[in-house]
Structure 1
């Protein structure tokens, strides 16, 4: 059981024109994130279009990322799939490579998933992983998965597997729920999926954030994390920017497509816009709208966004 990073980017995944993953660009982007405030990368989360990539390419890309010199201790891997077998395959692979942890959501096809069904999924995963199971982070995002990770399920799983589950990412946007989780399960590190909620969550004992906006402003999240307790003017400014960038800008667009579009504009590299089906690049009118809305924030993007190799 190692240390979990706190300021994490839910990394976007760049593509080549033929639709395959651009490994060199992904490695460069992850290096840029770690050099500009993040202490963690989450690979193949929702923002990273995980469900659109095959098992083999997900494993191969993770191997390439770590072989490039990026420390596995800074990498959390999204491994949730619809089947226990596929989830176990990806989970065992990531843990064997020494990754900091795995982010696991319940299956997302059969809706609505019952609490007993979610409990059964995680239990079968743990039995399949056996002694190699460690550092599992629940992923609570019922809007996307159709399957909540409810407190009674967490309690039952922690009772049965007391040293395996180490955290939970809450992407509901509910600060109330995040605080409840932090207070009810002090053994779990609670991550916000929303940039604007990192500060208030930290005030209530939360651990950190795993966000899409960190692909653009890892420096601002790092500032909030480092200085919120001192309530410094720079932390206040960073919080205000994060709130406005997230609530007033990105949430008005499909997130993965919007973040990629912003990186494409900042870098001048049109391939950053590419997404895997069923996602589509933003229509031209929406790209123009987003570009205009981002103007006040772009001076706060660290240099080199989308260009590091």
Structure 2
């Protein structure tokens, strides 16, 4: 059966964690259910917003198996691969393949400053070779966030990945926040689903042929982002885009991921959702409530989707 083209609103889900640093799978499953109810087409677990770089690959693989056992539709999952080691990347790709995930969101290996494009391709070739010894192949969405990883997916590297993996490379998440870069990617690689990670870029990228958004803001604001995706030229989309820009300023200026988790904890009346992994620290209660008050001023009404 032909898989549907990847497009729309994809939530880069937060990861509920315990005070002891374990993934709270029950809370995560409930949150994923709410994200789908709020209109997210897919969910990407364990990326930047999901604190994927602070969680072990074995932890994440076990959590994905538990999500599947809990009834989560894994065909609507894009788990992230965030590791500089071939063995851990292989484990993550193997798990995504075994569970029938729609795709894996793959960050390039980081740490060494003397990487080459050919070396990046070799890394994924080695990881997929190991993963596919006993698991089906999984499609790949390239994750471009060089301000964090230090390794950009340049057009040349994207072309090399396509040359090596063919139509298994189905898209890219461009988290540079650079509109011109996103438009260039959409024009250069029309067969790929090009996503932005920035709400403010979304309507412009859609008009240029982009596929949608993979970002952290759908954890809270999926309904507004759906309005933009449905018709980026509409008055409703323009209003939603203006609100999105203000909300990004509020949340990014007051802790970023920790602020998103704090807001979810308050809106959902679930204090455990505010817990973050070291080296991050949770917001104190007064700061969290001040952030939520600023978000409320944008006209946001939290929807408890079931």
Do they fold alike, i.e. is TM over 0.5?
Answer: yes
1:212 aligns with 2:216: yes
Deviations 1:98-122 (A, max 9, x none): 1000000112222364333323323
**Structure 2 match to 1:250:** 251
RMSD: 2.0
**Structure 1 match to 2:148:** 144
Does structure 2 conserve the Cα–Cα contact (< 8 Å) formed by 1:134 and 1:163?
Answer: no
TM (norm. structure 2) is 0.92
SS of the counterpart of 1:76?
A: coil
Where do 5+ consecutive residues of structure 1 fail to align?
A: none
Deviates more, 1:92-101 or 1:262-271: 262-271
1:58 aligns with 2:69: no
Query: Which whole-Å CA distance do the structure 2 matches of 1:302 and 1:251 have between them?
Result: 22
SS of the counterpart of 1:196?
A: coil
Where do 5+ consecutive residues of structure 2 fail to align?
A: none
Query: Which whole-Å CA distance do the structure 2 matches of 1:260 and 1:91 have between them?
Result: 27
Q: How does 1:96-245 map onto structure 2 within 5 Å?
A: 96-111=98-113, 113-130=115-132, 132-228=136-232, 231-245=233-247
1:296 aligns with 2:300: no
Query: Which whole-Å CA distance do the structure 1 matches of 2:138 and 2:69 have between them?
Result: 22
Query: Which whole-Å CA distance do the structure 1 matches of 2:19 and 2:129 have between them?
Result: 40
Does structure 1 conserve the Cα–Cα contact (< 8 Å) formed by 2:107 and 2:142?
Answer: yes
Does structure 1 conserve the Cα–Cα contact (< 8 Å) formed by 2:106 and 2:142?
Answer: yes
TM (norm. structure 1) is 0.91
SS of the counterpart of 1:118?
A: helix
1:127 Cα offset (Å): 3.5
Determine which structure has greater relative contact order: mean sequence separation of CA pairs < 8 Å that are 6+ residues apart, divided by chain length: 1
Corresponding pairs, count: 302
SS of the counterpart of 2:72?
A: coil
SS of the counterpart of 1:2?
A: coil
**Structure 2 match to 1:44:** 46
1:245 Cα offset (Å): 1.1
Closer/same/farther in 2, CA of residues 244 and 109 from structure 1, 3 Å limit: same
Deviates more, 1:95-104 or 1:76-85: 76-85
1:283 Cα offset (Å): 4.6
**Structure 1 match to 2:76:** 74
Deviates more, 1:131-140 or 1:25-34: 131-140
